[in-house]
């Protein structure tokens, strides 16, 4: 094992000896991440220590959510030069993790660079999970690798961070502004935490502010404008409207009108309801079955319409079939056959209202009734 605790830990001097890292760095601010090693190796990193005690020099630190270091150990260990490079450029934005100068040596070695990386990975995103190239000068590709690798793991870091990032928890594939910063991040996120990867990686566009707040704001605004555009498509006649206020006006008017229509129609249905009871039989005997396309929908309706209506009046069937020649639409034939078979299982007289309703809807539903239906010889009528 190494030579024991070194008070100074220039990272240049770092060796893979476990005990050389007697003191762990304390990462406080971005600006302090220089190679002045004293600032680094200060105090304890409790989680690491506890983990180390549990597991010893193993790579898997799954027990602690903050130190999900498993895959990186070997990789990190293998490249000390790697360690040398990355702190120089990387901003350790909001790192509050502490390192512990531990006697355990090797595990420390494993963890610290990894946690560094992880912190680094989390820091560029800070609370926002974004890459801010200006604020982090990443010198080497290996640094980038390490940082990118951390991204998916940082995702599983802490629930606290996750709460902070909840505002962007949607990963909307359709949004074009969300870009992963590198292929490696994408790959790793797929390998590692694809079910957990909710975060949106946004790259600051050229000429735009890179403050984390403004980036979040922009993401939010784009989400909202995307939804407004969708609403615009939904509301008829709003193609030319620009501006949120006017658009919202139209939306509100449309929703109100729809609701009023529902009320009106429900009143109408309530009014129509009781009257039909009296004239059911007559209707049954005289109504004509009529259909105009949408046969598949009606067929489906027929099949779905399975109620406790055993009988069918024979004359109705006769009426249906006689009228079939009149309304010679191909769909209707198929439909009528189906409905006939259905009808044969229907229509108790007492429950005729219900059956009629279903018959009516069978016929009429799924396609529009022409408003001038009165003029037609056959109409959409209930057939029971």
Partner 1 sequence: MPVETPPRIPFRKRPAPKNPESRWRTISQERIYGQRLLEAIKHARNSSQPSRISSSRTIKEAADSALALTAKGQTRWSRAILSRRWQKRKLWLKAGGKIRRCSGTRRLEKPAPSLSLSAAPQPRKKTAEKVGDRLRVLGRLVPGCRKLSTASLLEEAADYMAALEMQVKAMRTLADLLSATTLDSTVESRTT
Of 39 and 232, the one with the shorter C-beta distance to partner 1 is 232
Q: How far is the CB of 84 from partner 1 (least distance, A)?
A: 44
Task: Report how far residue 99's alpha carbon sits from residue 24's, in angstroms, rounded to the nearest whole number.
Answer: 4
Contact residue for partner 1 among 176, 206, 239, 270 (CB under 8 A): 270
The mark string for 305-324 relative to partner 1 (x by CB under 8 A, - otherwise) is: xx------------------
Q: How far is the CB of 259 from partner 1 (least distance, A)?
A: 6
Strand partners, 203: 131
Q: Are 144 and 120 in contact (CB under 8 A)?
A: no
Q: How far is the CB of 288 from partner 1 (least distance, A)?
A: 10
Task: Report how far residue 198's alpha carbon sits from residue 292's, in angstroms, rounded to the nearest whole number.
Answer: 49
> What helix, strand, coil percent values describe the chain, rounded to 5?
55, 0, 45
Under the binding rule (CB under 8 A), the answer on residue 176 touching partner 1 is: no
In three-state secondary structure terms, 203 is strand
Of 190 and 260, the one with the shorter C-beta distance to partner 1 is 260
Under the binding rule (CB under 8 A), the answer on residue 363 touching partner 1 is: yes
Q: How far is the CB of 125 from partner 1 (least distance, A)?
A: 21
Strand partners, 202: 178
Angle, helix 141-155 to helix 106-125, in steps of 10 degrees: 80
In three-state secondary structure terms, 161 is helix
Stretch 204-263 residues interacting with partner 1 (CB under 8 A): 220, 223-224, 227-228, 230-231, 233-235, 244-245, 248-249, 251-252, 254-256, 258-259, 261-263
* 75 CB-near residues (< 8 Å, 6+ apart): 149
# of chain residues touching partner 1 (CB under 8 A)? 69
Least Cα distance to 198 among 238, 162, 237 occurs for: 162
Residues lying near partner 1 in the complex (CB under 8 A) are found at 220, 223-224, 227-228, 230-231, 233-235, 244-245, 248-249, 251-252, 254-256, 258-259, 261-263, 265-276, 278-279, 282-283, 286-287, 294, 296-297, 300-301, 304-306, 353-354, 356-358, 360-361, 363-366, 368-369, 373-374, 379-382
């Amino acid at each position: 094992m190494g030579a024991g605790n070194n008070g100074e830990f220039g990272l240049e001097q770092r060796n893979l000896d476990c005990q050389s890292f007697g003191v762990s760095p304390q990462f406080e601010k971005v600006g302090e991440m220089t190679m002045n090693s004293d600032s680094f190796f200060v105090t304890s990193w409790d989680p690491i220590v506890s983990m180390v005690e549990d597991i010893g020099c193993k790579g898997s630190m799954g027990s602690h959510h903050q130190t999900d270091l498993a895959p990186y150990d070997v990789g990190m260990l293998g490249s000390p030069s790697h360690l040398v490079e990355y702190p120089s450029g990387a901003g350790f934005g909001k790192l509050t993790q502490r390192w512990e100068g531990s006697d355990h040596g090797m595990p420390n070695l494993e963890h610290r660079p990894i946690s560094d990386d992880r912190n680094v990975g989390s820091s560029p995103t800070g609370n926002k999970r974004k890459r801010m190239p200006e604020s982090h000068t990443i010198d080497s590709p290996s640094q980038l690798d390490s940082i990118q690798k951390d991204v998916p793991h940082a995702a599983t870091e802490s629930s606290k961070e996750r709460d902070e990032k909840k505002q962007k928890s949607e990963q909307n594939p359709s949004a074009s502004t969300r870009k992963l910063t590198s292929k490696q991040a994408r790959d790793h996120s797929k390998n590692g935490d694809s079910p957990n990867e909710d975060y949106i990686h946004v790259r600051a566009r050229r000429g735009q502010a890179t403050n984390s707040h403004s980036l979040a704001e922009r993401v939010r605004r784009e989400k909202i404008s995307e939804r407004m555009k969708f609403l615009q498509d939904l509301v008829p006649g709003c193609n030319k409207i620009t501006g949120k206020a006017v658009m919202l006006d139209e939306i509100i008017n449309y929703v109100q009108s729809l609701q009023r229509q529902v009320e009106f129609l429900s009143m109408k249905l309530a009014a129509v309801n009781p009257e039909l009871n009296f004239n059911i039989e007559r209707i049954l005997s005289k109504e004509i079955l009529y259909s105009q396309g949408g046969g598949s929908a009606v067929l489906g309706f027929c099949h779905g319409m399975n109620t406790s209506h055993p009988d069918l009046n024979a004359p109705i069937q006769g009426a249906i079939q006689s009228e079939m020649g009149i309304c010679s639409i191909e769909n209707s034939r198929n439909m009528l056959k189906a409905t006939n078979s259905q009808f044969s299982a229907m229509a108790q007289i007492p429950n005729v209202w219900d059956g009629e309703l279903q018959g009516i809807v069978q016929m009429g539903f799924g396609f529009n009734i022409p408003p001038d239906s009165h003029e037609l010889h056959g109409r959409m009528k209930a057939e029971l």
